[in-house]
A and B are shown apart, each in its own frame.
Chain A
């Protein structure tokens, strides 16, 4: 069955540096990959969506790439700030709109 995996180890990074998170999937390439941010005790908030035929998507300091050869999506936060500290979730969507989520990677940005 299709799996979606994220690095469970927290990413500790210094303010101003670029944080890079990885999302790997098995088997077939999903039509869409989405990235969400989740703060403790809150629901996830949508950040970016990338389609299978797109290589890269940007939104302000955020960038997502989609490599169907490596079966991987990378999520970058450039010029990171302490306010970027959160857990970031990737999810693949099926044709019915259902999302399958990874477990998330916690990012900690220190001043």
Chain B
């Protein structure tokens, strides 16, 4: 079955440490996204990528970095510069065509919950 796989499901970060969250999709989607979800708040966009080797900052990119070397993979690194990293992180993907961009549903993984030690 096609889908998005996020790993690990739970992750703990020590002070001053960078951690990387994995996101892999086998849906052959061009676009991929990273969101952060905090209790009582909507999902907030961290980074997105519409094509391999290209990505753009979302609304809350500070303290995060990404790469898009392969179509299937879009890892997110939470750096030590992110002072409040405790949250539920969600990766998503969508197909993208010139005519219908904006109308495509997003497919989500089951998230990684990051906590501070």
B103 in complex: contacting residue of A51, A101, A104, CB < 8 Å: A51
Task: Kindly state whether residue B117 has any CB partner on chain A within 8 Å.
Answer: no
Range for the number of chain B residues in contact with chain A: 20 to 34
Q: Considering the chains assembled together, what is the distance between the CA atoms of A34 and B106 in angstroms?
A: 10
Task: Kindly state whether residue A111 has any CB partner on chain B within 8 Å.
Answer: no
Task: Kindly state whether residue B104 has any CB partner on chain A within 8 Å.
Answer: yes
Q: Considering the chains assembled together, what is the distance between the CA atoms of A51 and B105 in angstroms?
A: 12
> Within 8 Å CB of B113, what residues of A?
41
Question: Which residues of chain A have a CB within 8 Å of any CB of chain B?
Answer: 4, 8, 31-32, 34, 41-46, 49, 51, 89, 91, 93-104
Do B43 and A42 touch across chains, with their CB atoms under 8 A apart?
A: no
> Within 8 Å CB of A98, what residues of B?
33, 45, 48, 58
Instruction: Tell me the B80-101 residues at the A interface (CB within 8 Å).
Output: 90, 92, 94, 96, 101
Do A46 and B105 touch across chains, with their CB atoms under 8 A apart?
A: yes
Task: Kindly state whether residue B109 has any CB partner on chain A within 8 Å.
Answer: yes
- Knowing A102-B42, A103-B41, say if A41 contacts B110 (CB, 8 Å): yes
Provide a sorted-by-A list of 25 A–B residue pairs whose CB atoms are within 8 angstroms.
A8-B40, A34-B105, A34-B106, A41-B113, A43-B4, A43-B6, A45-B108, A46-B106, A51-B103, A89-B42, A89-B43, A91-B43, A96-B102, A97-B50, A97-B102, A97-B104, A98-B33, A99-B106, A100-B42, A100-B45, A101-B35, A103-B40, A103-B41, A103-B42, A104-B42
Do B96 and A97 touch across chains, with their CB atoms under 8 A apart?
A: yes
Question: Which residues of chain B have a CB within 8 Å of any CB of chain A?
Answer: 4, 6, 31, 33, 35, 40-45, 48, 50, 58, 90, 92, 94, 96, 101-111, 113
Q: Which of A46, A89, A98 has the most CB of B within 10 A?
A: A98
> Within 8 Å CB of A97, what residues of B?
31, 50, 94, 96, 101-102, 104
Closest Cβ–Cβ distance, residue B74 to chain A (whole Å): 14
> Within 8 Å CB of B41, what residues of A?
103
> Within 8 Å CB of A101, what residues of B?
35, 42-44
Do B90 and A43 touch across chains, with their CB atoms under 8 A apart?
A: yes
Do B102 and A49 touch across chains, with their CB atoms under 8 A apart?
A: no
